[in-house]
Structure 1
Amino acid sequence: MLQATLAQWGGHEDLWLFGYGSLIWRPDFDYAECRPASVHGWHRALKMWSRRNRGTPECPGLVFALLPGGSCRGMAYRVPRAQVPQMLPPLWQREMALGVYDPRWLPCRTPQGTVRALAFTLPRNSPNHTGVLPDDEVRRIFEQASGIYGSTRDYAEATHAELQRLGIHDRALSRLIALTRSGP
């Protein structure tokens, strides 16, 4: 899948990457430029099972995915073409270790114009899509789920804090944070 994604990129210009979750507060790669960006036709949702990064097979956690519909504000990162061969494999290992996401090249609107950026999306028919979870299940996951990169709670709260710092209001995420901080 990495080779197919690289072939779609082409390698003739710098690579753009769209961050909408942990990539906005922990990109873990060098980039030449970072811009506020939005994609249309996709929205950020904490509706993907994580059995490694933020949970385990016995106690799955949740991570963000771009799901079809709506729009999403995040950040677009420009990586110089010459740095892509060193940057992309570790990023791929982080984001695609289990091959769950569907990598896509999406048009991202930025203040300086539209760029074509790599984004990690999830089809609704994926077995890793949670669908709608009851509030008590979300609370339980926030209380119990943790994986190699930490807990679902820490991940969601760090993303929420960074979105707020950037002036991005995500109502669905704000609701989940409030829900999991209060009692049933």
Structure 2
Amino acid sequence: MFVFAYGSLIWRPGFPYVAAQPAMLRGYHRRFCLWSRHYRGTPEAPGLVLGLDRGGSCRGVAFEVAAEEREAVLEYLDERENPRGEMVYHRRDVGLRLADGRAVRGITYVADRSHPAYARPCHETAAQVIAAGHGMAGSNRDYLLNTVRQLGEFGLRDPGLERIAALLA
């Protein structure tokens, strides 16, 4: 099984894996499109977290999971991505192109556009929210900067995230 990571899963997967490598997902793009009232914000001052939204493409990291770990990893990810049963993400089976050239199937989590937490702020608004956001998992700023840094460690860039990061300064 492959798990496609595009945000904090890149730098904090939290599950056992056999290998990790850059991968391309077509049909979705990475975006700060979900209000976070738990991990990166509070109910009174929500932060923003990344989701996969329709259209475009996304370069991220594919984690290969051993067959015997599959069910435990899926259970862990379902709880992590939708804490307390709040279904802000849908688990999807997707096609991935790995950096080594292989085409594989994998799972990832896509933002639910019908959920009240769904948002589409401009880069400037996202930067303002992220600069101030802090929740039980830490600062929203660290979430953004860790994601940009880890993408770089895999040789990947995301100009949209880099633009938001530049607006934080």
TM-score, normalised to structure 2's length?
A: 0.91
1:123 is displaced (CA, Å) by 4.1
1:146 is displaced (CA, Å) by 1.1
Q: In percent, how many aligned pairs have the same letter?
A: 38
**Alignment RMSD:** 1.6
Q: Does residue 63 of the first structure (1) align with residue 49 of the second (2)?
A: yes
Q: Does residue 40 of the first structure (1) align with residue 29 of the second (2)?
A: no
Instruction: Give the Cα separation in 1 of the matches to 2:78 and 2:120.
Output: 25
Which deviations, in whole Å up to 9, do the C-alpha atoms of 1:116-152 show, x marking residues without a partner?
11111114444222113472x4343223211111111
Rg larger in structure? 1
AA partner of residue 33 (structure 1): A
AA partner of residue 117 (structure 2): N
Q: Does residue 156 of the first structure (1) align with residue 144 of the second (2)?
A: yes
Match of 2:62 in 1: 76
Q: 1:142 to 1:132 in 2, by over 3 A?
A: closer
Instruction: Give the Cα separation in 1 of the matches to 2:115 and 2:77.
Output: 22
Partner SS, residue 97 of structure 2:
strand
TM-score, normalised to structure 1's length?
A: 0.84
AA partner of residue 96 (structure 1): N
Conservation of the 8 A alpha-carbon contact between 1:67 and 1:122: yes
Aligned residues: 166
Instruction: Give the Cα separation in 2 of the matches to 1:161 and 1:179.
Output: 16
1:60 is displaced (CA, Å) by 0.7
Conservation of the 8 A alpha-carbon contact between 1:17 and 1:78: yes
Instruction: Give the Cα separation in 2 of the matches to 1:156 and 1:33.
Output: 24
Conservation of the 8 A alpha-carbon contact between 1:42 and 1:70: yes
Structure 2 unmatched ranges of 5 or more: none
Instruction: Give the Cα separation in 1 of the matches to 2:122 and 2:36.
Output: 14
* Aligned equivalent of 2:154, options 142, 156, 166: 166
